[in-house]
Amino acid sequence: MMRLLVVFVGIACLAGCGGAPVQEMSDARQAIAAARVAGAAERAPADLGAAQAALERAEQHLQAQEYTRARSAALEAKRHASAALATAARAGSSPAGADPVPQSGPAPLPSAAQPPD
């Protein structure tokens, strides 16, 4: 009975920890792409660069079949990309040096009492 339990625990550990971090890599790539679209290259270059570097490390670990390290680096890449996206979104909502657009009411309607030509 004890032997069966040990085998089951071993199989469960391998199933949960042994696979390539496919989803984490995909999530990191998508987060970096979203940050780029939001303008992070101009508004949050440090975070975007850190995300890209972490993704490159994840890819190297993946090639070396170091899946735990690849997963960790991919999660780090996603965190940096999310920070870059948030920074870009905040900077995009109020561009530096831009004058705020005055909020006025609707334009006045033309007068209906105009003389005919």
Each residue's pLDDT tens digit in the chain (117 positions)? 666 555 555 554 545 556 999 999 999 999 999 999 999 999 999 999 999 999 999 999 999 999 999 999 999 999 999 999 999 999 887 544 444 444 444 555 555 555 555
DSSP labels, the chain: -HHHHHHHHHHHHHHHHSS--HHHHHHHHHHHHHHHHTTHHHH-HHHHHHHHHHHHHHHHHHHTT-HHHHHHHHHHHHHHHHHHHHHHHHHHHS-TTPPPPP---PPPPPPS-PPP-
